[in-house]
Amino acid sequence: MNQEFREELKELVQKQGGPCVSIFMPTFRAGTEVQQNPIRLKNLLRESEQQLVSLGARQPEARELLGPAHGLLADGNFWRRQADGLAVFIASDVFRTYSLPIHFDELSVVTDRFHVKPLLRVLAEDDRFLVLALSQKELRLLECTRFGVSVVELEGVPKSMDEALKYDDPQRQLQFHTGTQGRGGGKRSAMFHGQGVGVDDTKSNIWRYCLMIDDGLHSLLREERAPLILAGVDYLLPIYREANGYAHLVETCITGNPDVLSADELHARAWEIVQPLFKQGQEEAMAKYLRLAGTGLASGDVREIVPAAVFGRVESVFLPVGKQIWGSFDAQQNEVTLHPEVQPGDQDLLDLAAIQTFTNGGAVYVVEPEHIPNKQSAAAVFRY
């Protein structure tokens, strides 16, 4: 899921030539507030239409461009699948929506390129994590940021042990040996063989269930690097850990029956586990920057960071939240132009560095301005 988002985001960033409409809004999942969701979007579409007209579009053209988004207003299924925030991107050949576990402020932007700045926190390396809530009766995969949580729709993954074993072939699943290569570069450590009906029947069923979950999650987690926290009762967790092949499974677990915990409760408990890990990763990246500063393998100059990010050279980058540096980047000339104030055709170069670092597999750390190494406007470590 992360790789697909990377590729789509890269396409959005590369899209130029307007008009490009970018809409962000908070969404509610339950309660009477859910009725506000389509109303908010309707108001933002009206605002976008006014912006399009002010930029020279005729009103019928503006309405036609926004037509696909207007089609969402009465789509009950769409609104039932919301998380904490909704992002909508519209152009003549683009219509994409993203329901994300982050609260957005209401915003409509119409320019000659898509505005992606509100996604910056979603891309941060020290922000995303996953929770796998595992029980015999129910399986849930949660995608989280520090701000919120959304339930991942699972395809090709059993939702319960009954569902897993209904179509399972026991002989295929039980032939398993120590050291088998798992998904994502991990190692499955256990060896387990069927012992016949009776003594180990329950354990063998659980083992097969866990193997099927891990196999089913392979396509979803193939390109992921986010830490994964397990939630489950004591006897299930070690069995799943043996079956797991995901390389970024966290050692500490959420113990107890996850079926009695809401997504928000699981998110809160998982955040207590991953927050120290995120802090450690950020501190290691910062130490590496300070060690390499002045060697050519690190820089605090935006004019060096932006080209390096675009061409995939940035390993990690520290960027200040709430700050912009306006200008442009000419990829053919490999030249960055800075402006003290925004000019027509400009973009926030810090956003450009963040998006390009993310889409090229680098780490993005969004911090308060005073926490940028050496008090600079940005700081990056280069791969080469």
84 plus 108 within the same structural domain: yes
pLDDT of the residue at 180: 46
180 plus 38 within the same structural domain: no
Write out the chain's pLDDT in tens, 384 residues: 555 676 787 788 777 777 999 999 999 877 667 788 999 999 999 999 999 998 899 999 999 999 999 999 999 889 988 888 999 999 999 999 998 878 888 999 888 888 887 776 666 666 789 999 999 999 999 988 887 788 888 888 989 998 888 866 555 444 444 444 554 445 554 444 444 444 467 888 899 999 999 998 988 888 788 899 999 999 999 999 999 999 999 999 999 999 999 999 999 999 999 999 888 888 999 999 999 999 999 999 999 999 999 999 999 999 987 788 989 999 889 999 999 887 777 788 998 898 888 878 888 888 889 999 888 999 999 999
**CA 109 remoteness from chain centre:** 22
147 plus 200 within the same structural domain: yes
Last residue of a domain, one of 251, 279, 307: 279
CA dihedral 353, 359, 362, 367 (to 10 degrees): 50
CATH of the domain at 331: 3.30.1330.30
Q: Tokens representing 88?
A: 């909508």
Report the greatest alpha carbon distance in the chain. Answer: 76
Range of the domain at 343: 293-382
pLDDT of the residue at 335: 94
Q: Does residue 230 sit within a domain? A: yes
Q: Does residue 123 sit within a domain? A: no
3-state secondary structure (DSSP) of residue 176: strand
- How far CA 88 is from CA of 120, 243, 330, 352, in Å, comes to 15, 38, 27, 19
- Residue positions counted in the chain: 384
251 plus 164 within the same structural domain: yes
Q: Does residue 209 sit within a domain? A: yes
134 plus 195 within the same structural domain: yes
pLDDT of the residue at 240: 95
Last residue of a domain, one of 115, 144, 179: 115
What type of residue sits at position 219?
Answer: S
DSSP 256-296: S-GGGS-HHHHHHHHHHHHHHHHHHHHHHHHHHHHHHTTTT
Helix axes 302-310, 349-359, angle to 10 degrees: 30
3-state secondary structure (DSSP) of residue 170: helix
Last residue of a domain, one of 115, 137, 159: 115
Q: Which among 248, 282, 263 has a CA at the least distance from the CA of 381?
A: 282
Q: Does residue 285 sit within a domain? A: no
142 plus 57 within the same structural domain: no
Q: Does residue 24 sit within a domain? A: yes
Q: Does residue 140 sit within a domain? A: yes
**CA 371 remoteness from chain centre:** 23
Neighbours of 183 (CB within 10 A): 18
CA distance 11 to 359: 10
pLDDT of the residue at 169: 56
254 plus 181 within the same structural domain: yes
274 plus 136 within the same structural domain: yes
Kindly report whether the peptide bond that precedes residue 238 is cis, defined as omega within 30 degrees of 0: no
Kindly report whether the peptide bond that precedes residue 19 is cis, defined as omega within 30 degrees of 0: yes
Phi-psi bin for 317: left (phi > 0), alpha (psi -120 to 50), beta? beta
101 plus 219 within the same structural domain: no
- Cβ within 8 Å of residue 330, ≥6 positions away: 336, 337
pLDDT of the residue at 188: 52
300 plus 251 within the same structural domain: no
172 plus 275 within the same structural domain: yes
pLDDT of the residue at 195: 45
Domain count, the chain: 3
pLDDT of the residue at 125: 60
3-state secondary structure (DSSP) of residue 78: helix
**Structural contact between residues 312 and 382, judged by C-beta atoms closer than 8 angstroms:** no
pLDDT of the residue at 122: 67
146 plus 110 within the same structural domain: no
Q: Does residue 287 sit within a domain? A: no
pLDDT of the residue at 174: 47
CATH of the domain at 12: 3.30.960.10
Q: Does residue 261 sit within a domain? A: yes
Q: What is the pTM of this model?
A: 0.63
